[in-house]
Structure 1
Amino acid sequence: MDLFGEAENWETKLNPILKKYKERKHPLDYQNTYQLLVMVVLSAQDSDANINSISPVLFEKYPTLKNLSKTDFESFLPYISKVRNHTTKAQWLLEIAKTIQNDKDIPLTMTRLTSLKGIGRKSANVILRETGKPAEGIIADLHVIRVAPRIGIIKESKDGNKVEKDLMSVLPKNIWSEIGMAISFLGRETCRPKPKCEECLLTDICNYYNTEFPKN
């Protein structure tokens, strides 16, 4: 596979952001695994800030999967009406609740999580990372999709699953759990669509920076 990062020591090169963001909690303001599961499903193609804003009332009404499993579509929908694609997500969440029933039975493996409606690899990777389970992949959200090629770790792609696969092929497994969120946080705070390169910890190894601002 012809990748930018092949044979590179990316663990060492990315250590500044691994150190800065290690174990920082995901921006979704969840209190337990049930809330995390629901909020991850709701956050697809929506902002974490929006999901955080609607979650207190939602979880006051439905504090557990068991509570959620006993409601119906019409009763549930108003609680997530401000969420993008809320009708589809309501169907997914109600199906998940009826399938799992109890918070303690929420699955915490890639295979079992991705078998649930509305949970792809990105969402499953977030849940595994936040619950401290062994990484089975690398979080590839929209920030990672933008930033990883910009740094030069992989080639550009709009396909999150391809980005994840390419990252997994060049990054050592021992950093999988943290590196996705580290790159994501870098993208949220510094490597924005219009990057703030002067604030970045990775300018010495960043392909974009060294192309746009050559030292010679």
Structure 2
Amino acid sequence: MDLFGESTNWVQKLAPILEQYKDQKHPLNYQNRYQLVVMVVLSAQDSDANINKIAPALFEVFPNIESLAVSNVNALLPYISGVRNFATKANWLLEIAQTIKKDENIPLTMEALIALKGIGRKSANVIMRESHAPAEGIIADLHVIRVAPRIGLLPETKDGIKAEKLLMQVLPKNIWGEIGMAISFLGREICRPKPKCPECPIKNICTYYIKNF
């Protein structure tokens, strides 16, 4: 197997998961783009399940960016106090809301999204993917960082930015929008820290499986 090289036909090899997870909605249970942005910011270093749990009460009080923009930290904190780094994230969300002002002003380019507080490349890629905006990068969350080296797509790294950069070098742009989330779903469902290899649709091209089975 030609590891980490562009000559490897990864599009063909990854086709089963691209097909299996194509257009599957992100696990964050958002109802619109405003909710998506807020939940993505809150989910950093926290679990999607936890954010889904606190979201309904939060959005009942803050239904849109306008309501958030005229609020303050003390009003917001009770609704997000169960989230990791909640005080910092409260300030980020208020600054985002005061910068954007209206839901319809939420940007959908990498440059504009990462200019907002609390939104890095991973978060921007998620927002763009879920909004069907043209991909400018590849989602590289903790699942992707674990799974991509395991299947032989990348060398080992714990750095999400480095992982994304390497993925962008190896994979053609026409699959950028879906492949990150496809690998992430594979990591959430099958390629867990203790992987369920017999269930994996791409086990036959996976270096870990070939080496261990």
Is 1:116 the counterpart of 2:116 in the alignment?
yes
- Give me the whole-angstrom Cα distance separating, in 1, the residues matched to 2:6 and 2:52: 38
- Give me the whole-angstrom Cα distance separating, in 2, the residues matched to 1:16 and 1:94: 41
* Equivalent residue, structure 2, for 1:175: 175
4+ residue segments displaced more than 3 Å: none
- Give me the whole-angstrom Cα distance separating, in 2, the residues matched to 1:198 and 1:67: 49
Task: Report SS of the residue matched to 1:14.
Answer: helix
* Equivalent residue, structure 2, for 1:86: 86
* Equivalent residue, structure 1, for 2:37: 37
Letter in 2 for 1:33: R
- Give me the whole-angstrom Cα distance separating, in 2, the residues matched to 1:35 and 1:3: 39
* Equivalent residue, structure 2, for 1:100: 100
- Give me the whole-angstrom Cα distance separating, in 2, the residues matched to 1:121 and 1:177: 13
- Give me the whole-angstrom Cα distance separating, in 1, the residues matched to 2:10 and 2:138: 14
For residues 98-149 of structure 1, the C-alpha deviation after alignment (integer angstroms, 9 at most, x for no partner) is 1111000011100000000000000000000000000000000000000000
Superposed displacement of residue 79, structure 1 = 0.5
Q: Is the 8 A contact 2:191 2:200 kept in 1?
A: yes
Q: Is the 8 A contact 2:122 2:141 kept in 1?
A: yes
Structure 1 alignment gaps of length 5 or more = none
- Give me the whole-angstrom Cα distance separating, in 2, the residues matched to 1:90 and 1:212: 46
- Give me the whole-angstrom Cα distance separating, in 1, the residues matched to 2:164 and 2:5: 13
Q: Is the 8 A contact 2:34 2:65 kept in 1?
A: yes
* Equivalent residue, structure 2, for 1:65: 65
Q: Is the 8 A contact 1:5 1:152 kept in 2?
A: no
Superposed displacement of residue 203, structure 1 = 1.0
* Equivalent residue, structure 2, for 1:152: 152
Structure 2 alignment gaps of length 5 or more = none
CA RMSD of aligned residues (A): 1.0
Superposed displacement of residue 212, structure 1 = 1.0
Superposed displacement of residue 3, structure 1 = 5.8
Superposed displacement of residue 4, structure 1 = 2.1
TM-score of the superposition, structure 1-length normalised?
A: 0.97
TM-score of the superposition, structure 2-length normalised?
A: 0.98
- Give me the whole-angstrom Cα distance separating, in 1, the residues matched to 2:105 and 2:70: 16
Q: Is the 8 A contact 1:17 1:182 kept in 2?
A: yes
- Give me the whole-angstrom Cα distance separating, in 1, the residues matched to 2:3 and 2:75: 49
Change (3 A) 1:169 1:3: farther
* Equivalent residue, structure 2, for 1:133: 133
